[in-house]
Copies of this chain bind each other. A is one copy, B any other.
Amino acid sequence: MRDDLNILILSCGTRNKIVQYFKKELDGRGLVIATDCSNLAPALYEADKHFIVPRMNDEGYLDEILSICKENNIKAVLSLIDPELSLLAKHKQDFLDIGTIPIVSDSDVVEMCFDKYEMFKFLVQSGLPTVKSYIDKAEFYSDVEAGIIDYPVFVKPVRGSASINISKVKTKEEVELLFSRFDNLMIQEFMDGTEYGADVYIDLISTEPVAIFIKEKIKMRAGETDKSVSIKDEKLFELINKFVKRTGFKGIIDIDIFKVNGEYYISEVNPRFGGGYPHAYESGVNVPGKIINNVYGKINEDTIGRYDEGIHMMKFNEVAIIK
């Protein structure tokens, strides 16, 4: 039992596929254990073992997760929701002390991903192409007058996810109205082009990106990719490589990218498994396998671009039942 490679997936929610993939890749070498604060999280029931835990913000939450790790000989832990990535990154050492590796980037990098304006500033300073963003509306108006940017633009929370509270805005009056109603908004250029998602794995030992899978998003639903097709482009692989190394990401991340007039622009990063990751796995880009290698102390070889173009992914609803 001491040598088992048990993996803990926190806040598993509806991400059944991720649980399935880890089970398949472990292939009996260890258990996949899942947690959620709701017993109506269907992915719980895919796991070999599961725990219903308190809400993440409840007192004692971290201690409960740490003791689940200790008692179940967990070798690696990861979370599928954003706020918990902050927690894992901040308390990385607590997990390492009990022999559990948190699969997450460092705290400063994770926090930058959740602040879209900080990410924008970092990208600009790094000389990487990104989406024009403003938190100062006066600066935005002055750029409109100077012809640097034009309506429509998106107004959205600096911190936010899943397309919640995003408004497409066509006039100064609407910008004023939104800024008068809500705090911590930013104005972002409307990118009239094609949207891509990249699933990237950065080896935990070599710190090199070893897998990049790029999909063109064909159809979105409630902020998630519903249909997509795999593509390859050396120019985009290079841009992602440069960005990922400069930022210092670790483990699995998901990058949103726009292409407008033949140029790529980095938009946002989810420093975790993205909702579209199953497309990468089903196309042969096996991130759970690479995580398992790393936990065994093995360095992964570079497999960037080792997949076929033109593979289409389509989501549909499966149901889980509890009686």
Contact = CB atoms under 8 A, between A and B. Distances in A.
Max chain B Cβ within 10 angstroms of own Cβ: one of A40, A219, A314, A318: A314
9 contacts: A14-B316, A16-B318, A17-B317, A42-B315, A279-B319, A313-B319, A315-B317, A315-B320, A316-B317
A contact patch SS:
mixed
Name the 3 nearest CB pairs between A and B, nearest first: A318-B318, A42-B314, A14-B316
A319 B311 CA distance: 12
B318 A317 contact: yes
Nearest to A13: B316
A14 B227 CA distance: 11
A311 B17 CA distance: 23
Contact of A314 (B14, B227, B283): B14
A218 B39 CA distance: 13
A319 B227 CA distance: 9
Contacts of A323: 308, 310-312
A2 interface: no
Given A227-B40, A314-B42, A321 B283 contact: yes
Nearest to A16: B316
Given A278-B317, A313-B321, A315-B318, 15 more contacts: A14-B315, A16-B316, A17-B317, A17-B318, A17-B319, A40-B312, A42-B315, A221-B222, A222-B222, A275-B317, A278-B319, A313-B319, A313-B320, A316-B318, A316-B320
Interface in A203-242: 218-219, 221-222, 227
A282 interface: yes
Contact of A40 (B218, B275, B278): B218
A43 B16 CA distance: 20
Contact of A319 (B42, B221, B310, B314): B314
A290 B279 CA distance: 37
A168 interface: no
A125 B263 CA distance: 61
A311 B322 contact: yes
A40 B219 CA distance: 10
A41 interface: yes
Max chain B Cβ within 10 angstroms of own Cβ: one of A218, A222, A275, A279: A222
Nearest to A45: B314
A13 to B, nearest CB: 8
A15 interface: yes
Max chain B Cβ within 10 angstroms of own Cβ: one of A218, A227, A275, A319: A319
Contacts of A311: 321-323
